[in-house]
Amino acid sequence: MEDKLTIIFENPDFMIIDKRSGVTVNKSDTTSNELTLQDLIEKEDRMDRNTEDVEFINRAGIVHRLDKETSGVLIVAKNANAFRTLQAQFKERKVSKTYIALAHGIITPLKGQINVPVGRLPWNRKRFGVLSGGREASTSYEVISNFQLPITNEELSLVRLHPETGRTHQIRVHLKYINHPIFADPLYSGRKTARADRKVLPRVFLHAEEISFLDPKSGERVEFKSELPIELKDLLEKFEIKNNNNMVGSA
């Protein structure tokens, strides 16, 4: 991993980071041997440390998370006030997030809503699933286009998703629930399928394309986008397009 942040935007209150796949966001007891995004942020030393807000300091201003293999936009607050303001916006669902995923099969209908609760599996603490005692979770989606794999002729759906809640692994679990797991997802697509997928793509095909929120100082809505990484673009170019509803374009 490069020891350098990719910054999409920066002002005195926050930074928008373009996170690469394979990078863990937060430091923990299990990340002592890897360089995390938090390490890079602390190395840059752009935070206002003149504060008694312990959580802001301990999290290096990181307001939310992306899974290790998920790429895309991530907000980092540079001072304690912005940190708390942005945290409140996530809690109050004022933040709008858009993801791009490649899923197995043909998703129908082309637009829809997935509303099922998500929780940590009691028998496997590393995974999440749809549980009756889980937390409310809602994801809307729109199919962009359909592809067909060469040789196997398996059909795939490129889909844009909008999680209205922020549960861990929410999009991955919701797509698995409707029997359309994400391409190359090692946790939720099944061992045999994931093994075959990861021969052509060694990461999960999930990208945080866009994020929109209220500027913590001005209160005006701002929006930031991240282009689809080259390895995901290259993969799509290898597949045959079957239907093109609203092609991803500059995503």
Beta strand ranges found along 66-220 (DSSP E): 71-77, 96-104, 111-115, 118-121, 124-130, 138-148, 155-163, 206-214
- Whole-angstrom Cα distance, residue 195 to residue 238? 19
Look up residue 29 and give its DSSP letter.
Answer: G
- Whole-angstrom Cα distance, residue 237 to residue 119? 36
Burial of residue 147 (CB within 10 Å: 0-12, 13-18, 19+) is: buried
Look up residue 27 and give its DSSP letter.
Answer: -
42 neighbors 29 (Cβ within 8 angstroms)? no
Q: What is the full DSSP assignment across 173-200?
A: HHHHHTT-PBTT-TTTS-HHHHHHHTTT
Nearest of 117, 115, 113 to residue 136 by alpha carbon: 117
User: Is 13 annotated in the active site?
Assistant: no
Amino acid identity of 228?
L
- Whole-angstrom Cα distance, residue 174 to residue 139? 8
The single residue of 39, 67, 185, 197 carrying the catalytic annotation is: 67
Residue 31: strand, helix, or coil: helix
Residues known to be catalytic = 67
